[in-house]
Amino acid sequence: MDPARVTKQWLRFRDGIGLAGVRWHDLRHINASELIAAEIDPRTAAERLGHDPAMLFRLDV
């Protein structure tokens, strides 16, 4: 799949639903926050995001 095509489709979709300015990476942050709010085990949440569990609780990001 062509990355430029995926980006173009994301931008069209994002703008169409009124989320102009939201980056693809922002969705990862939203997902991490939702997993934590749902009290998902940090190790499981980190695995789903492809991170080390300590990464979820970094305060310097």
**Per residue in 32-49, pLDDT tens?**
899 989 999 888 888 888
CA atoms within a 13 Å half-sphere pointing along the CA-CB vector of 42: 7
Is pLDDT at 61 greater than 60 in this prediction? no
Determine how many CB atoms are found less than 10 A away from the CB of residue 46.
Answer: 19
Q: Helix, strand, or coil here: 38?
A: coil
- Rounded to two decimals, the pTM is 0.64
Q: Would you list the domain boundaries of the chain?
A: 21-61
Residue 59: what pLDDT?
55
